[in-house]
Structure 1
Amino acid sequence: MSKFLPSLSKGLTLKAGFAAFALAAVAPSQAQSTAPEPFRFQFPAGYLSRLGGTEGVVDFGGKIDQVNAFGVRSFPLPTLQDLRLVLVKHNKYWEYNISTRIKDTTVFAGIVNNGDAPAGIAKVEVAHDPFKGIQYGASLQRTQYGAYDSNARFNVGYAMSAWQDRIRILNLVAFSLDSVTTTEKREGQDTNITRVSATPYTFSQINGGYGESVGQQFNWRLDSTARLYTFPLNDKAQWSVDVSPSLEYRPGSGVTLNLSHLERFAGGEVALPSYNLARYEETNAAITYRIPGTPEFGIGAVRLRGTRNWTSDYTYLRNDLLLNIKALPFLIGPSIGYQWGPAKDGSASQMLYALVVMGK
């Protein structure tokens, strides 16, 4: 939550999400008007708008007295270049990384989320991926897919568009180097043996969507993605297709109903486990009521969300209370929900607690 602190002579109010801080500027006296201007820190132009993408993380899992993870994701640093920081404490490790987007190139480095594993996954990546034109990228990361320990991947390709940029067509030629370390008996002693395998592959993807408004209350949209991986030296290939219809309905002032569904079909086999996709079905529904007015502090919106994961037999129901804090460019608040279906502790259900954010 942001706070306001008066300066000694010039008012300077700075706002930031999930942190309470401000800076005071001291102006020189009239008698010293010829003295050098003192150092004053200023946020770069447009910094406050970056805060809208910040995500707070508070994961209690099924027990309110035991926090599984807490921290912040996509927090913008006060620099001219938009640098995004992730810092999340998990039970067994820290997740931390930094990333930025320079024109059409994304640069990423750090430790990424690995669920309940003993450690996070170290990763460095550079990806040049404009909507249209030449594409290329490289990544190096530790992995935990079966016996794989680490991999280095490189790709180059081209993207084009059709139907007035509603459809994007991407084709890549790629190469993966995977290292596997196993322990074997050599002369009666356990010895670590590292083997490196090379896997060339291609990736093709077509994705796009189309939607329209129906009157003043309805919006509908249909999005779809088709993918194809081929592994010529492994005699393997896998295709997958996602189809996702969605609907938005506004029955009254401040009330919005959102419905969406995802159907994923897949077939074939991959040579790299991290690219494997399987059949998937999920339905989501949410009804949101935004409270009119912009108070200094008060309830900004209430939201009820439901999710049905048909593939894994999960059902989620979440209730969100979002606070409107005038100093913040977004709404933030607690979420309390319930899960029916398999839980981490083996039971059939559990409570869900979280911190949620929504744009104003």
Structure 2
Amino acid sequence: MSRLKSLYYHICSALPTRALLKLNKSGTLFPYHHVVSDEWIPHISNLYSYKNRKEFNEDLDELLKYLRPISVEDIAEAVKHGRELPANSFLLTFDDGFKEIHEIVAPILKAKGLPAIFFINPAFVDNKKFFYRCKISLLLEELKRIENDKDELRKFSTGMNWNFTTMPEIEASLKKFKTEDEPDLEKASALLNFSYSAYFEKAKPFLSSGQIAALKKDGFTVGAHSWDHPYFQSITEAQQLEQVSKSVTFVKDHFNETTLTFSFPHSDEGLPQDLFNEILKLSVEPDLIFGIQNQKCELQNRVLHRFNAERPETPMSRQLNGILMAILLRKMSGKNQVKRN
């Protein structure tokens, strides 16, 4: 997080939360996470940080001091009938379907009586396929062994047809890889003599069908997060619609979801209005769609925008006021509505 943003949250934390809620006439807040864990997770930790159990519990207690939990069904009803979202409420969401959802997150939420949506990618369920971003994290983990050896780094860089000599340059290049770059990820693992499959077989990082069914039985909602997590901005409209349709249909058919939800992988920014028009014409269409544009308003497309709540350096005791103030400032400046071309 930048110093400027950190200062912003620090200043906002001194403001009275209840006064901000009253001024804001706030609807529903949508914090999102991927995992919660006290451990270093090699297939995730080199990509982004996440909160531990203590931090997560403290965040939930902070939310519950000022907001009430709301169900996805209540949200869907409000959107369907064009009503305002329930005031001073929140709904938690989690992306990517990692096993920590079943092992750590769900027990904490269940103990507090909190609903949540767990968004999954059907391609990864039962560990049938390994997410390419996880491969990037594992490569970065392996590269730590040679990060101080300039000759080895140069050898790796040359093998990748790069002209880099430092670890930050190599890391930046690896993090730019997308789904279509998987052959290069295979090349990189061969250069490091590292086996994704051996790690994958042992770690089994994703939820199984049985674990997802258990989450559903416990009252949580299962949502779709695309079929295999591509960058939507890099694929055709036909492929985008297939990713939405296949994943939403999978969730409906396999887990008997009646309120169908979809969250965009990576980001929804820059996606055109035509795509949303077509999504809402699908034979199995989502009742709610989730983006990540920090609580902006886009109800005309059934889109609810979330904010990232998993950065350890920003506890909810600081972040909540920052989000409320950002919404208030955008409303005052007429910039709180998402407009698509």
Same fold? TM cut 0.5 = no
Larger radius of gyration: 1
Higher strand share: 1
Higher helix share: 2
Shorter-chain TM band? under 0.3
Q: Which has the higher contact order (CA 8 A, sep 6+)?
A: 2
Structure 2 length normalisation: TM-score? 0.26
